[in-house]
Structure 1
């Protein structure tokens, strides 16, 4: 019997299905379904709310500029008002800056990362647009400090939940993926441009206040997001196998074992274990060691520099 001819609707569905498969959309949606939706979406909402409060309650009333894409959007908005005769909304400028970067992220970084960054950028733009501007104080120093604090909390919790707010994060990650290098100069260059425009548009004292904002924001972010801080733990133990098993199983970290070490006081044979953990894992590590070998001697060095392979879990 001859095959039935496919209807135009069926052909269209088939073509859409093929295109989606080619773009990796099905795979992306399947992998996202295994993510902690609540945590990531909540972090996106929290970042959007806090960034909009920072912009509309502190940065704009105080003529203070944020760092990264948010600060660049403020500059574009101010330049359009002064030189073009109309004010381009900060939310629109922020979204326009991020759209081409999201395309870069989709092809260079990963689909899952791009989807959550898109959600965060969209939520932030909507909050910035629809939350009204409120002048709590016109003092630029107070606005700089508290705006930086609020923005830093939003960025810190976003990073802790493995989401990105877009902007220079995307460019830095894309270049790091290609070259393996951390590109701090990109952020420095963007922030430098923002400071120059702040000085030209509102006076150089506002550029200095904006530097206060960036400093406060970065300090608060570092205080909340501790995963990037590495710690070296040296464990002197009589039960190395037990300790190594627990570190492997619970923390998923590698361990270097030095056998036949000797304590000079009792001349007792011990093993010395070396492992690298993050500041975020320190509480669990301490609890683990108390349960596994309470008599072990442990020395922990903070903020160590790593050369070689060290993987942060996503």
Structure 2
């Protein structure tokens, strides 16, 4: 049993290292192939590192490249993650940031286009997918992702929305450095990145589930085995067509748990009526997933 546990842990760590490397490649492609040629600033710490790189471009030995700046700015974020999120999470965040910093340095820019709109959209989409994929696999890309996770746990706001709230300075910087049209292009890139993050990282998207069944005990057992979610029961419900007795079950899940819900329903009552709708906000106790 102990050997099996160690094997599983090694497998999980291997996946996380692979995800961190994959993110490093994606963010380097976004920076070197799209954002830099198009004079587009990224969101959060990456955008701040780009800004520092631009401002110190002619500072000689004091020049701080984007990759180096990305690592240096993230150092206080590592401390925050260590205290507020967890040690394992912080370790893989550190690995993720190191991969990103190194890959931005190693992967040389290839000129594809200077069109700022294309650079904003494709750079934002590639970066957003990389960030969302990393978060989905339980690691952070550093910077505002860590702040976003801490704020989300306290307020319920999505990661992408938190990032957008912190990026006004980046947009203004793009306007001052490259001209105000580029501020709009950078804002477009930030919007695309935030939307792709929310589409990829679905763990923070909450859904209300209503189940109408005549096998409530079996369905409850299956859902709690697969999802470990609380369920509210409404007894003595009558179907209008056959006038047979039914039970309504209500629960809240995340979009990330949809597959588990479908499996539970297939096992518990494949003939049940299930209605799933987005939840704007949840008041009261709702358990967040642990990293």
TM-score over 0.5 for the pair: yes
- C-alpha change, 1:189 and 1:230, in structure 2 (3 Å) is closer
Counterpart position of 1:168? 144
1:175 CA drift (Å): 5.6
Counterpart position of 1:288? 264
Q: Deviations over 1:206-244 (max 9, x none)?
A: 111101111111122222222211111111111111000
Higher-Rg structure is: 1
Q: Which ranges of structure 2 fall in alignment gaps of 5 or more residues?
A: 1-5
1:248 CA drift (Å): 0.6
Q: How does 1:21-40 map to 2 (within 5 A)?
A: 33=9, 36-40=12-16
1:312 is the counterpart of 2:285: no
CA distance in 1, matches of 2:282, 2:10: 31
Q: 1:229 aligns with which of 205, 208, 216?
A: 205
Other structure's SS at 2:246 match: strand
Other structure's SS at 2:155 match: coil
Other structure's SS at 1:205 match: helix
Q: 1:207 aligns with which of 178, 183, 189?
A: 183
Counterpart position of 2:79? 103
CA distance in 2, matches of 1:154, 1:54: 10
Q: How does 1:144-159 map to 2 (within 5 A)?
A: 144-159=120-135
- C-alpha change, 1:223 and 1:182, in structure 2 (3 Å) is closer
Q: 1:181 aligns with which of 132, 155, 160?
A: 155
Conserved 8 A contact 2:163-2:194: no
CA distance in 2, matches of 1:182, 1:245: 28
CA distance in 2, matches of 1:219, 1:212: 11
Counterpart position of 1:65? 41
- C-alpha change, 1:189 and 1:241, in structure 2 (3 Å) is closer
CA distance in 1, matches of 2:21, 2:224: 35
Counterpart position of 2:119? 143
1:182 CA drift (Å): 5.3
CA distance in 2, matches of 1:135, 1:201: 21
1:35 CA drift (Å): 7.6
CA distance in 1, matches of 2:47, 2:284: 35
Query: Which sits farther off after the overlay, 287-296 or 66-75?
Result: 287-296
Counterpart position of 1:126? 102
1:245 is the counterpart of 2:221: yes
CA distance in 1, matches of 2:272, 2:79: 51
1:281 CA drift (Å): 2.0
